[in-house]
Chain A
Amino acid sequence: MTDLASSDTPTAAAVAETDDSAARLHRNLFIAIAVLLVVAPFVAYPVFVMKVLCFALFALAFNLLLGYGGLLSFGHAAYFGMASYVSAYTAKNWGLTPELAILLGTAVAALLGLVFGALAIRRQGIYFAMITLALAQMAFFFSLQTPRFTGGEDGIQAVPRGKLLGMISLADDRALYWLVAAIFMGGLLLIYRIIHSPFGQVCKAIRDNEPRAISLGYRASQYKLAVFVLSAGLAGLAGATKAIVFQLASLTDVYWTMSGEVVLMTLVGGLGTVFGPIVGAAVIVAMQNYLAGLGSWVLVVQGVIFVACVLLFREGIVGVIAKWIKKPL
């Protein structure tokens, strides 16, 4: 497990030396991201930026589990997709305001993560990946077979964007953008905080050497479950927001290809880096936009990127940059 996600853990001496400057660098990066978020809707198509932000948050959530919990989930589409169904359904059929619909979707995803996570952490490594994938496929079949809730093959369409807190209309893309940007920034800061909290440190310790962490008195499975639930909940937050942005929740969101996509985004950006998943999501979403006309070739291109990344580019974009500047990103 050590090799897969340890690009953020250089030697102890290097850590002490760069800790301070790294923290400063991270602070500057956060400011830069905030500035970018403010500028973005004026230079780019807001819906595209919102799509990137939703998937970036999804990839960040996935990376929290893989990069810092050392757990490769191949079924994160379940939390993303289920939250997107819940938020779309409640916004459309119960008339919930968007913030409540999104919160409810997030809560359901976290709850699903609690159940699936408790099962999956009973096994490790490759089995863990297979179990999460199988459980997610179960969620997919559930969605397929309950068209009263999910709309079956059609999905839930024409979800109203509604009014934030019942007052501010989100029908305009610009208005909605600020909500999405705030959710993204909140999610990013939360994840950063989790990673650098004592809890996050213990998670990393368990990732690197589980028997040792257990011998130090940490209950490894409880930590794993906690990080799993956090990751599932944040993936749900991304999915629920996506449903409001595109006014659509469909089977694509729960299918295994979506799980594969989030793995790909994180891999391209850099496993186990804080900022990598954002870059990876931007690259993959942009690529999908460009290649949308090519049909099945998108699948081939994604596969080629997968293979190329694993063979030649395991650190990912941000991982390589972090290596150059010798600071964790």
Chain B
Amino acid sequence: MFELLGVPPQALFGQVLLGLINGSFYAILSLGLAVIFGLLNIINFAHGAQYMMGAFVAWMCLNYLGVNYWAALLLAPIVVGATGIVIERVFLARIAKYDHLYGLLLTFGLALIIQGLFRNYYGSSGLPYGIPPQLTGGHNLGFMFLPTYRGWVVVASLVICLATWFMIEKTKLGAYLRAATENPTLTQAFGINVPLLVTLTYGFGVALAAFAGVLAAPIYAVNPNMGADLIIVVFAVVVIGGMGSIMGAIVTGFSLGLIEGLTKVFYPEASSTVIFIIMVLVLLVKPAGLFGRTA
């Protein structure tokens, strides 16, 4: 077989694919963060914990209720999204009038609670979640072996990301959302129920995180700590992309995953820090972020 830059193509494309998968999670999670930030003006620190909850709900569905992967893919976002709605109503709505940094502190506290509870009941060693039978195996593409499930994750996340983009940019509901982001008071004056919109938006952002969690469950072990470190990387992704644009979040997420994957091939020592280094470079060159408006 031919070699690219001294790296066998199997390894290269394998890591590229893994990078794209990580990129899908970055994209979905930073998309959710951006949507929530747009309307609530808070950074949802619990996003990583909610991603983890998504994976756990899928695991519980399978092991306690015998509900399969496909149903969980729909059910977990609904369940976790519902908890998000409760969180918004009970906690976030109460502190909306204070400094936005309190939202960060509150959701950080929630993240600790959620993570601590799951760690108590399920330990931190991780639980296995099998790949659904329809997606096992893989295809030989000639230059690489493509595990079906991994291909599915990339496609499913792309579809979800684009659907979210379409909903926000092209539909009437999305127009309300954008209007409320721009000027909530005026939007409310036009008879749109902004508090309801805020609650639903938070629920939707959380549901996105849970969806990513279900996608991740068969790839990584279902683990109470799976979201904690991921969310910090996603923060860096958000800083790099800026939260001004939905498409920006998607593009940044996927490309950073890809870069991370390539770094794993060519300079593995830097693979865990490369995104932070890119963040530093972006801050030096374009502090508002690649797609950001000046904040």
Contacts and interface: CB of A to CB of B under 8 A. Distances in A.
A297 B111 contact: no
Interface string A1-14: 11110000000000
Interface in A136-163: 137-138, 141-142, 144-145
Contact of B235 (A134, A144, A311): A134
A165 interface: no
B120 A296 contact: yes
B104 interface: yes
B239 A72 contact: no
A287 to B, nearest CB: 14
Contact of A306 (B112, B239, B269, B283): B112
A310 interface: yes
Contacts of B174: none
B106 A310 contact: yes
B106 A307 contact: yes
Interface string A297-316: 11110111111011100100
B9 interface: no
Interface in A101-115: none
A124 B289 CA distance: 13
Interface stretch (B92-100, B163-171, B205-213, B258-266): B92-100
A188 interface: no
Chain B binding surface, main DSSP class: helix
A257 B98 CA distance: 25
Interface residues of B, number: 45
Given A3-B98, A138-B273, A127 B106 contact: no
Contacts of B176: none
Contact of B120 (A122, A300, A305, A314): A300
Contact of A134 (B108, B112, B276): B276
A12 B287 CA distance: 37
Q: What bracket does the count of chain A residues touching chain B fall in?
A: 35 or more
Given A131-B279, A138-B273, A138-B276, A310 B105 contact: yes
Contacts of A299: 112-113, 115-116, 119
Interface string A228-267: 0000000000000000000000000000100010010001
Nearest to B271: A141
B55 interface: no
Contact of A267 (B105, B110, B116): B105
10 contacts: A119-B283, A126-B43, A131-B239, A137-B233, A137-B276, A138-B277, A260-B108, A299-B112, A300-B120, A303-B113
Closest 4 CB pairs of A and B: A306-B109, A303-B112, A299-B116, A303-B113
Interface of A: 1-4, 72, 74, 119, 122-127, 129-131, 133-135, 137-138, 141-142, 144-145, 256, 260, 263, 267, 295-300, 302-307, 309-311, 314
Interface of B: 37, 42-43, 91, 94-95, 98-102, 104-106, 108-117, 119-120, 228-229, 232-233, 235-236, 238-239, 269, 272-273, 276-277, 279-280, 283-284, 287, 295
